[in-house]
Structure 1
């Protein structure tokens, strides 16, 4: 609690304590070098607040209040009667900037969603541009427990506070001391989580602690034990970590990598992924955050540093192809989405065509294990396995790893989750019995059972599973359990869909337009899935940047968004995965017409593409199906109508 706020006091105590003494308490808690501008800002905040609270004479103030998920501190949180005020000061400003309004509302939304004792209480964000003109309060815009951000000048703050308190005087009173002790159970995006870990926060600080789920900290702890044990006993080990979509597998891997990201560390680790957009976005997000936290580091140096422990798996592979004997400097490697490693056929073809190596006969899993096996004494491979994530042909799945271990690496210690035997993770025809001749051990802590992504709906992945696999009754049953907290709608009107998403998004929340890479005829609706998108711009740029996802103009495909997430999604559904005669059909648009997909693997990739799209939204989504056009043989209304009715049959309401 002492670190939750740098200074906290009852209003009566705050009013009689000198400004210098309060600043002294705040600065003693502050970890960064202070500059005159910062202490001057605190001084003005304190004096403005003292003047504003003098007529009210009640409540409790918390200066520099930690908002862990965002990795930031709100200037002041003021708890009085039945209201939680989030106060953000912009000293000397005469305008209310949109970015500041979003930041202030973001703090309030964060408390409402993730701070246990803030749930169901009224939260009022106020942006104070000290030199701005006074704004008239409008109480007609209340959306839920979080009011729209109120704009106030310094001179008008006292009246603003009083007006809000008078409006909501009938609310149950909040005990400020009990409130500040409330547990904070954040559910960060993978980007926010990576930033927090890189800034040396504990994984426990950014993970929920659901009673029915294996805690992330337990999984990380067990993997660390295996790493230590392998080093001490001079063993070579591989861990298979499974989890439902959004459960935090990537977070586990990043946590291990950040714990051991020092080259001098004997257990030095690197995080590898074949997901190019994920690698690019995480590297850039960490670099930008590092530069923002430390003005002495340039963005170039920050990018160089983050690039050292988050790498593209194919670049890693090529590095050790060039030198067939050298072992990596890292003793621990984490392979994200390991089930997507390339098969023998795809790897051999690639080596022959792109690398001019005609005699290469190893699958990617076999080669990657063999590279780590070059270490003389010990090493650890951590393979993160997602269910229903294969969206490319030529992916080896688990069989590639099992075959390699059984064929050439029987001396390795193998740790795996029992869930590895399930079809959802193992896929079709996986020979789990290959492990019987190896030194393998089942570990329950190596499975993550609860999704963190959709914090409003833990069962979203189950709903999507039933929907994708033509089980409408089961989908409807799950939908009825989640719909109150996780809105899902369907529409035939694209403008309505965009309006809905924009109205849902508040503060710093994200939103985006996504569609399958095979949705080629959405082009007629102005949705171009073939456009080349820079993932770092799309995910990380500000809400005022037209290249960002927030504008709902550039459509991200499953290849762009896999492994990442958005708060609100607009999913455009084309005729590539269409419902007809009580079953789903698989189609691919080639040239100028749709072609039926008969290959079972290709069918599965298409199903998984829609699974990825439907599990990207953390807070809610709207699905858009075109009406079609009978004058265009590639967009007949019959291609879409039954899919639309099927989705409604799964419980999804129309806007």
Structure 2
């Protein structure tokens, strides 16, 4: 080896070149991509007290680091365990540009014992040589890095290293979320049934080991045994390192508000692999029916149903902004061609306001994104009304369409018809062809005048010739009862929730919970499955403890949205400062950051079921009211505020539906708070705790 103070030699394609020390460092990093050989020269003094000098490295056979923009180190387990400490630390320092001397010292203390354990794992496990090691991996939300990740057979272990083995409760929740978010958002994990678990490893002192649903605390000397708990060499192969670290494998799902924000900023709705896989069949079926209606100059009613969070609204928005619809537009009687072939309409005032607020924030304009049903009906219902300039009318939450009595009262028009009848009539005025798409949720009728449900749509087309109706088999009876032909299509029911990140059973859990005779055994089984898929069901009797928990959980995730929800019919929560704000503005409440006084993250103003339906939060703090409590084995609404509207048919059913909506707004979890100062909630609290909710 040639020696020279501060110099080095690079060999490439049989040639040598003399390098200065900084150039030697750059060439060392370049080695991993170009397969160069760097021969370092011995320095006269250390380059830095904390940063390793590449000129101090003694190379044998160099190890290939596959790391890219997602991590600082990535290799198979044998390569990681045999790499020199300086080699690994240099790679991490190069990746984490803001690394401090303290961080580098922590790497030097923790990596060596991890390498020693990795060597044992690689040698002792049947397929250990194929396992992978990834260091400083950027988590899906982009705000944190995991210390290390081990890719073993059928599992992914997130490793968090600490010298003293002391972890605060807030940090334990954060690292458990590392595992949950990889399971939810990494396309090679949850979607492929790969177990993900966080292991908090103490390498400086002995600790008492603990095992939990999503994290384990262990000593470094016992890491091999932890690996054996999750390793399934006879059933699965480890995920290849090069595939795991590909940037496109991390696809956090977006809330409706986030998707709208992306659309307004980029003029395109995002493609999320899992959402596309669940909704693509419904979109293709609807687009096929639209093209057929255009080709045959006919009229279609399409019913698309789904469980809460299944992506119905997402489907509607995708269809409304399908660019190929412009090719199907007809020239209207006034000689003008339809310029906006499809329109997305919602009777959900808060949803309309939130989306319009996001449009305004993004500086948007131009093409109509969403309009309110009430204004649309008023505009086109008068005798002198013009023809709607749209071939495709998409009615969101169509099960909540107003009946004729509600429309007459709202519009002060004794001749007014139900909203379904009005939409069918509007569509018949459109030249050539038209399609009405009704997006239907399950059990979410919460307003008066919404109790007519699907039957209103059957009545709307019952005596109007020329309409073809299609939808999922589960809705056929509403039309067959009236002697109407109904084409069934399985893809027009979305049975899997994408809102809840693999926790599809939340809708079932909520439905069982509010049913006439809820079964504790069934609730516990559903809750167990929800927890296994990362969904968090928690309960407390302290409102302040609930607030502190959520503030701590999402402190480092500024884009996350969490807030307080409550029932509109409660009488008793006001004593805890939870007062319904009649002037609550849903747009700022859902969209603004925490420094805004209107933001939901401040946990001040609660929203009711009316402001929550059709929208979602990452986490919900549900303040349970005395308007829906267990008395014996039955739910009671005896203490609920009474409805002034005498047309209400079943107040108890509206309460059930309201709580079902409130329970299913959280994408990652729901934290139930039943304040201990309300005795009427005591039995309900015990029942909910036994139904699978973890106490905070």
Q: Same fold (TM over 0.5)?
A: yes
Which stretches in structure 1 are left out of the alignment for 5+ residues?
1-8, 18-50, 64-75, 92-102, 125-135, 149-163, 292-298, 423-430, 629-634
The equivalent position to 1:414 in structure 2, one of 469, 481, 499, is 469
1:221 is aligned to 2:293: no
CA separation in 1, counterparts of 2:145 and 2:434? Answer: 40
- Give the superposed CA RMSD: 4.1
Give the 3 Å change call, closer, same or farther, for CA 651–627 of structure 1 in structure 2. same
Correspondence 1:126-145 to 2 at 5 A: 140=167, 143=172, 144=175
1:107 is aligned to 2:174: no
Deviation per CA, 1:588-646, whole angstroms, max 9, x where unpaired? 5559xx99x99652211111110011001111121111223xxxxxx5x1x21111122
Contact 1:504–1:568, Cα closer than 8 Å, also in 2: no
CA separation in 1, counterparts of 2:440 and 2:54? Answer: 58
- SS of residue matched to 1:415: strand
**Equivalence for 2:480:** 433
Greater length-normalized contact order (CA 8 Å, ≥ 6 residues apart): 1
Give the 3 Å change call, closer, same or farther, for CA 486–234 of structure 1 in structure 2. same
**Equivalence for 1:472:** 519
1:447 is aligned to 2:493: yes
1:539 is aligned to 2:590: yes
CA separation in 1, counterparts of 2:586 and 2:424? Answer: 30
CA separation in 1, counterparts of 2:383 and 2:466? Answer: 24
CA separation in 1, counterparts of 2:647 and 2:295? Answer: 52
1:616 is aligned to 2:665: yes
Q: Shift of residue 410 of structure 1?
A: 3.0
Q: Shift of residue 222 of structure 1?
A: 0.8
Deviation per CA, 1:119-176, whole angstroms, max 9, x where unpaired? 835489xxxxxxxxxxx9998465326779xxxxxxxxxxxxxxx9x99998999854
**Equivalence for 1:190:** 256
1:242 is aligned to 2:305: yes
1:405 is aligned to 2:461: yes
CA separation in 1, counterparts of 2:597 and 2:380? Answer: 40
Contact 1:269–1:309, Cα closer than 8 Å, also in 2: no
Give the 3 Å change call, closer, same or farther, for CA 228–574 of structure 1 in structure 2. same
**Equivalence for 2:243:** 178
**Equivalence for 1:120:** 156
**Equivalence for 2:419:** 364
CA separation in 1, counterparts of 2:145 and 2:382? Answer: 48
**Equivalence for 2:682:** 641
CA separation in 1, counterparts of 2:504 and 2:28? Answer: 38
CA separation in 2, counterparts of 1:649 and 1:365? Answer: 42
- SS of residue matched to 2:503: coil
**Equivalence for 1:207:** 274
**Equivalence for 1:501:** 550
CA separation in 1, counterparts of 2:28 and 2:465? Answer: 65
Contact 1:241–1:446, Cα closer than 8 Å, also in 2: yes
Deviation per CA, 1:190-219, whole angstroms, max 9, x where unpaired? 123334556365765353477xxxx20111
CA separation in 2, counterparts of 1:315 and 1:111? Answer: 50
**Equivalence for 2:114:** none
- SS of residue matched to 1:575: coil
**Equivalence for 2:567:** 516
Contact 1:270–1:330, Cα closer than 8 Å, also in 2: yes
Which stretches in structure 2 are left out of the alignment for 5+ residues?
1-26, 36-50, 58-62, 81-90, 100-137, 180-200, 205-219, 228-237, 330-339
Greater Rg by CA: 2
Give the 3 Å change call, closer, same or farther, for CA 598–312 of structure 1 in structure 2. closer
1:283 is aligned to 2:356: yes
- SS of residue matched to 1:619: strand
- SS of residue matched to 1:471: coil
CA separation in 2, counterparts of 1:564 and 1:523? Answer: 24
CA separation in 1, counterparts of 2:269 and 2:393? Answer: 21
The equivalent position to 1:340 in structure 2, one of 400, 411, 426, is 400
**Equivalence for 1:231:** 294
**Equivalence for 1:157:** none
Deviation per CA, 1:277-297, whole angstroms, max 9, x where unpaired? 111212332453xx4xxxxxx
**Equivalence for 1:305:** 366
Contact 2:140–2:250, Cα closer than 8 Å, also in 1: no
1:271 is aligned to 2:344: yes
Q: Shift of residue 351 of structure 1?
A: 2.5
Number of equivalenced pairs: 521
**Equivalence for 1:73:** none
- SS of residue matched to 1:327: coil
Q: Shift of residue 228 of structure 1?
A: 0.6
Contact 2:351–2:615, Cα closer than 8 Å, also in 1: yes
- SS of residue matched to 2:321: helix
